[in-house]
Amino acid sequence: MIEVWAPRAERVRLHRPGADDVELRRGESGWWRSDVELAPGDKYGFLLGDAADPRPDPRSRRQPDGVHGLSAVDDPAAFAWTDDAWTGRPVAGGLVYEMHIGTFTGPGTLDAAIARLDHLVELGVTHVELLPVNAFNGTHNWGYDGVLWYAVQESYGGPDAYRRFVDAAHAAGLAVIQDVVYNHLGPSGNYLPEYGPYLRDGRRNTWGDSVNLDERAVRDYIIENAEMWLRDFHVDGLRLDAVHALHDDDSPVHLLAELAQRVDALSAHLGRPLTLIAESDMNDPTMILPAEAKGYGITAQWSDDWHHAVHVALTGETVGYYADFDELDALPKVWSGGFFHDGTYSSFRGRAHGRPIPPESPSWRLVTFAQDHDQIGNRAAGDRLSATLSADRLAIAAVLTLTAPGTPMLFMGEEWGASTPWQFFTSHPEPELAEATAAGRKQEFAEMGWDEDLVPDPNEESTFLRSKLDWSEADGGASARLLDLYRRLGRLRREQPDLTDPRFGSRGAAASEVEGGRVYDLQRGRARVVVNLSPQPWRIELEGVSRSSGAGRDGDERDEVWLETLPAERLDGALVVAPESAVIVGPSLSRR
């Protein structure tokens, strides 16, 4: 059966190349239906009213000729999955790796990315998070300009290549998280408003007209799309883009809460954990609190506050929203409680912002990172930390990222200090749209006080090509040493439960002003992370303490160094941490 929701159409016909058009019957609530059966691979579209040009199916699973072309039938049951034994991975204790398919490898395809999965396994990654892959106009894009949420972009390989990627990831022991965008649609190829009120006319968010969450069919369009990824593509979780832009949801049950309930039910049915991760700038624990505590029940959410605190500590940059995070206690506060703005005044917003996270909430519900696609790509030049930080400070960034309370996330190439930028790129075929995008980008950075001359033209192909990873960099010199450090940190996380302790910094976190810089002394379970961001050596005492021997007896056990980014001087009962370095100390690993 063919069906489509098109309450705005007075007439709907099914169009197929080489066949007569078929009239659809109007049903209830704006749904149109026909008993015509289509075979896998058949191309089709819908003629709305008396229009001569067919439109793609809003729920198209494949767009072989682009978002303006006809849809094609995709048969998910035809794929020969080999992951029957896959039982999934919870996000707790995990390590997420964010990648963009188009720039992760030279070919920029899902099949090419499969060849690099072993690299992620060696790194200790547990979850691969893909930037959006839904169909967009053009050949390359960040993915947030998608217009057909059910279709996989053809330039990445289409739906079969996506299934091959997920199947291979599961074979390697990796869970897959898919970034999805439910808060807006791209500017080119969006025909949904011709079908029905998918958007609220005149009510906008940052990217355009907001999605119409008052319509039951639109809510179902979102929720059933989420279920499609998790069920038909065997995906393990979804990262929900900018949920604070899901405006004006006045329903008795918020869309996010309803989505979480449906995903929980699907998880029980499939017998494997399914994860929802929200991107939210609201600093509101309602997002991650369970329904019993009047929360939405989302598994986890991104922590911009952690990023900002680490970025300022490492770079000293205090422009724009970074200004508040120059306070001495910023990093210790987010280490200990998750949010910096938890009801405090935000100078960037000009008002109080956020609420505290309840202390009983597990720390892994926050996804923490020193770099991600937004915080790099939305800089004027798209420059990574590697463009300005020394090798020693990049090593400190690695330690902070992989020891912080939370679920750590790496952005592709971060693990070797990639020199390639990650810039904002598009491939809009419409000249007027390309020009408007470039002009808007420059204006945005001018308003922030950044040099607009640094901003590359998003539509120039060179902007896209510059953003591709150069894998040869990882093979030698400082890059190889940094990669080795990330791998050692990944192993340490697996070996030492204290580094995945679900509590926030219950044993304390402190910062000290030192001539020329700062020193941070941060506790994680029984582990102690000392970061010396100063030109002065810093002495810490390593007193013997009484701990359980693991055999039911108490015994004296002195802390030892688990990892150091630069050699620390051992003294009797003390350790001298070198300038611009970090150490992790804790109980003897041999006696755990």
Q: Output the six-digit token pair for 566.
A: 């630069």
Residue 244 is labelled as binding a ligand: yes
Whole-angstrom distance, CA of residue 154 vs CA of residue 65: 8
Q: Could you give the residue ranges of the DSSP H alpha helices within 477-539?
A: 477-495
**What burial class does residue 379 get, using C-beta atoms within 10 Å of its C-beta: 0-12 exposed, 13-18 middle, 19+ buried?**
buried
The helices-and-strands tally (H runs, E runs) of the chain is 14, 31
Whole-angstrom distance, CA of residue 490 vs CA of residue 179: 24
Run of H or E residues at 200: strand 199-205
The verdict on whether 372 is a catalytic residue reads no
Maximum separation of any 2 CA atoms in the chain, in Å: 89
Q: What separation in angstroms does the CA of 505 have from each of 271, 362, 401? A: 33, 11, 15
Residue 241 is labelled as binding a ligand: yes
Whole-angstrom distance, CA of residue 83 vs CA of residue 109: 21
Residue 457 is labelled as binding a ligand: no
Catalytic residue selected from 241, 342, 457, 498: 241
Q: Are 306 and 404 in contact (CB under 8 A)?
A: yes
DSSP single-letter state for residue 581: E
Residue 240 is labelled as binding a ligand: yes
Whole-angstrom distance, CA of residue 159 vs CA of residue 482: 35
In DSSP terms, 407 is beta-bridged to 367
Residue 305 is labelled as binding a ligand: yes
Q: Output the six-digit token pair for 489.
A: 């940190």
Q: Closest Cα to residue 136, out of 147, 125, 128?
A: 147
Burial 477-497 (b: 16+ CB within 10 A, else e): ebbeebbebbeebbebbeebe
Residue 353 is labelled as binding a ligand: no
Q: Closest Cα to residue 357, out of 348, 369, 347, 365?
A: 365
Instruction: Give the length of the chain.
Output: 592
Catalytic residue selected from 129, 279, 372, 501: 279
The verdict on whether 556 is a catalytic residue reads no
Residue 135 is labelled as binding a ligand: no
Q: Closest Cα to residue 381, out of 452, 332, 446?
A: 452
Strands 96-99 and 581-586: unpaired
Residue 377 is labelled as binding a ligand: yes
Strands 96-99 and 407-411: parallel
Residue 373 is labelled as binding a ligand: yes
Whole-angstrom distance, CA of residue 394 vs CA of residue 262: 41
Q: What share of the chain is helix, strand, coil (3-state, %, to 5)?
A: 35, 20, 45
Block residue for tokens 């039951």: 216
DSSP single-letter state for residue 444: H
Whole-angstrom distance, CA of residue 134 vs CA of residue 436: 23
Residue 378 is labelled as binding a ligand: yes
Residue 242 is labelled as binding a ligand: yes
> Residues marked as binding for substrate?
239-244, 304-308, 373-378
Binding residues: 239-244, 304-308, 373-378
What residues are annotated to the active site? 241, 279
